[in-house]
Amino acid sequence: MISQIKKMSSSTIFPLLLLLTILSLVVLSPIVTMVIFGAILAYYVRFISCRIKPYVKYDTLSIFLGMILLTIPIALLLYFTITQILGISSLLLGSVQQATAVNSTMDLSHINGAVEKLGLSPAITQNITDAIKSGILQLLSTITNSLINMVSSIPALAAQILILIFSIFYFARDGDKIVQYIKDVVPDKDKGFYREVLNGADDVLKSIIVGNIIPAAILGVLSGVVYYFLGYPYVILLAIISGIAMFIPIIGPWIVYGAIGLFSILTGNTTQGILVIIFGWIIETTTDFYIRPRISVQYSEVHPLVFLLGFIYGAVTMGIPGLFIGPLILGITYAAYKVYRQERLKSKQAND
C-alpha cells in the first residue's frame, strides 16, 4: 500500500485529499461547531490537567479531573442563577400559565399608579397600561414557547453535549499526537511558517479566555457597585446575572439592565430606572468595546478590531461557542497572513 502511494504523483494525491476533506466536513457539518468548541475547551483542560498530573498516577484521570474542575464553577453559577431567576420571577409575575392565559387578571395596580403619575388623560393612561400588559403577556408567552421548544429539543441538545464532552476528552488526551501528525504532514520547507501560525493560535487561545472571563467579571463587579448605590435588592445575584449575561449573543447584559430599569420606571422609581440604564450602557460599552479587546490583545499581537469582530459576529453566527471560535478563526487567519507577509519581506530583502 505504501509503495503504491509513493508511486502516485503529488498532483494526484492533493486533489484526492482535498476531496476527502470536503466530504468529511460535509458529513460532520451538523456537529462541526461542537467539535471545534471541544478542541478549544480541551486547550484549557490540558492546562488544568498539567497542573494536576504530578499528583495523580494516570494521564486519563488528570484529564477527567481537569474537565470536572472546569465544569463545576460554571454549573454552580448557572444553577444558582437560574433557580434564583425562576424564584424571583414567580414572586413578581406569578406562574407562567396564569400570566399567559387569555383571561389573566394580572395585578397591574403598581403599574397603573406609575402611569397615572405621568399626568396624562385617562384614555391615554388606559391605552399605555393595556400596551404594557400586552407586552408582558407576549414576553411571557415567548418565554413559555422557548421553554417548550427547549424541552422538545432535549434529545438533540443531549447529543450535542455528548459530542462536546467526547471532543474535549480526546483532544485533551491526544492533543500532542494531533500536533505531531500535522508536523509530519507539513513539508520541511513550510514547517517554520506553520510553527509561527501554531504559536499565534496559542496566543489567541490565551487571549480568548482572558477576553471573555475577565471582562465578564469586571462587568459583574461594576454592575454590582451600581446596583448597590442605587438601592436595589439582590445585589450579588444581579451582579452574577449581569456578568453571565455578557455571554449572551447580541443582547448581552442589556437583558438585565433593560428589565431592571423598565421595572423601576413602571413602579414609580423613574430616576432609579433611568440611572441604571445609563450606567449599564456606560459599563457595557466600556467593557465590550474597550476593556475586552485591550486585555485580549495583551496576549497576542492580533489587532483589537480582529478580536472585536470575532467576539461579536462569532456569537451572532454560532451562538455561545462563537465567542471562542470566532476570535480563534479570525486570529489565526490574521497571524497566518502576518507570518506570510514577514516571509515575503525576508525573501525580498535576501534577493536585494
Comparing CA positions, the residue from 301, 305, 283 lying closest to residue 293 is 305
Answer for the pair 193, 65: CB distance below 8 angstroms, yes or no: no
Answer for the pair 239, 257: CB distance below 8 angstroms, yes or no: no
pLDDT one digit per residue (tens) for the chain, 352 residues: 445 545 555 556 667 777 777 887 777 777 788 888 888 888 888 888 888 888 887 888 888 998 998 888 778 777 776 776 666 656 555 544 444 444 444 455 556 666 666 666 677 767 777 777 777 667 666 666 666 676 667 777 788 888 888 988 988 888 888 878 777 777 777 777 777 777 777 777 777 677 677 888 888 889 989 998 988 877 877 888 888 777 666 677 888 888 888 888 877 788 888 899 899 888 888 887 777 777 766 665 566 677 677 777 777 777 777 777 888 888 788 878 877 888 778 777 777 6
Q: Do the domain assignments include residue 245?
A: yes
Q: Do the domain assignments include residue 204?
A: yes
pLDDT at residue number 102? 43
Length of the chain: 352
Range of the domain at 214: 186-347
Report DSSP state, residue 267.
T
- The grid coordinates of residue 232 equal 436595589
Q: Do the domain assignments include residue 320?
A: yes
Q: Do the domain assignments include residue 336?
A: yes
293-296, Cβ contacts within 8 angstroms, sequence gap of 24 or more: 293/211, 295/210, 295/211, 295/214, 295/215, 296/207, 296/208, 296/210, 296/211, 296/327
pLDDT at residue number 113? 63
Q: Do the domain assignments include residue 129?
A: no
pLDDT at residue number 309? 78
Q: Do the domain assignments include residue 219?
A: yes
Q: Do the domain assignments include residue 77?
A: no
Domain count, the chain: 1
Half-sphere exposure at residue 90, Cβ-oriented, CA atoms within 13 angstroms: 7
pLDDT at residue number 144? 61
Alpha carbons 305 and 328: distance in angstroms, whole number: 13
Report H helices in 191-269. 191-229, 235-245, 254-266
Q: Do the domain assignments include residue 278?
A: yes
Alpha carbons 181 and 188: distance in angstroms, whole number: 13
pLDDT at residue number 6? 53
Alpha carbons 335 and 191: distance in angstroms, whole number: 15
